[in-house]
A and B are shown apart, each in its own frame.
Chain A
């Protein structure tokens, strides 16, 4: 079984400050990790993914995430937050085992509030 934990329901950041949205995961095989963002009344938009290779992954809109195998974490980061980054962020995992199926398991989501 696979699972994702996003320990913070909400993260508040001032515009221009760095932001971090936390994610930890549990999966039996190799983890394929994803971050998605959801704006009000919209579907989920893909931000970035880690499959293999460099632990630091860069994605859309200046976001990046660092894969840490020993801590089973995949925290989302941005050096300088924008008010327009305010949205709901989801971390997701799937088992990289070829026979494990392709469905994603999502965390509960973290609401990011960036204040001017």
Chain B
């Protein structure tokens, strides 16, 4: 597609419910990132997928958070047993990662999913 697509754009859920957020990266981008943007914490890295490598999960705030990336393309971020502090905008980004580690990748962001936990 033309850009990173995220769905839904808004999600309202009740405390304790599970939610799934979807990200469709730019076609051909091998790297995919999830970030969270919240009032108190700014923009935080959550998880990073690169090709077939094991994902970097170092930013996930708790074991209630998980993500997968199927077929090297679409990714789903799952939050189990949602809490009010999970309310935030969840941003997905994708990029090319140049071979040889030149790392001149630019991350392109989707519009985000605004999650509200009541």
Contacts and interface: CB of A to CB of B under 8 A. Distances in A.
Interface string A38-64: 000111111001010000000000000
B28 interface: no
B108 A46 contact: yes
Contacts of A102: 31, 33, 48, 50, 95, 97, 103, 105
A87 interface: no
Interface in B72-118: 91, 93, 95, 97, 101-112
A58 B108 CA distance: 18
Contact of A101 (B6, B56, B104): B56
Contacts of A105: 45
Nearest to B104: A51
A7 to B, nearest CB: 14
Interface string B6-47: 100000000000000000000000010101000000110100
B111 A103 contact: no
Contacts of A98: 101, 103
B111 A108 contact: no
Contacts of B67: none
Contacts of A51: 102-104
Nearest to B107: A104
Interface residues of A, number: 24
A107 B41 CA distance: 10
Contacts of B106: 34, 46, 49
B107 A96 contact: no
A58 to B, nearest CB: 15
A103 B112 contact: no
A103 B59 contact: yes
B42 to A, nearest CB: 5
Interface of B: 4, 6, 31, 33, 35, 42-43, 45, 48, 50, 56, 58-59, 91, 93, 95, 97, 101-112
Given A43-B111, A43-B112, 6 more contacts: A32-B103, A43-B91, A49-B104, A94-B103, A102-B50, A103-B59
A-B pairs with lowest CB-CB distance, top 5: A98-B101, A43-B109, A106-B43, A44-B109, A103-B45
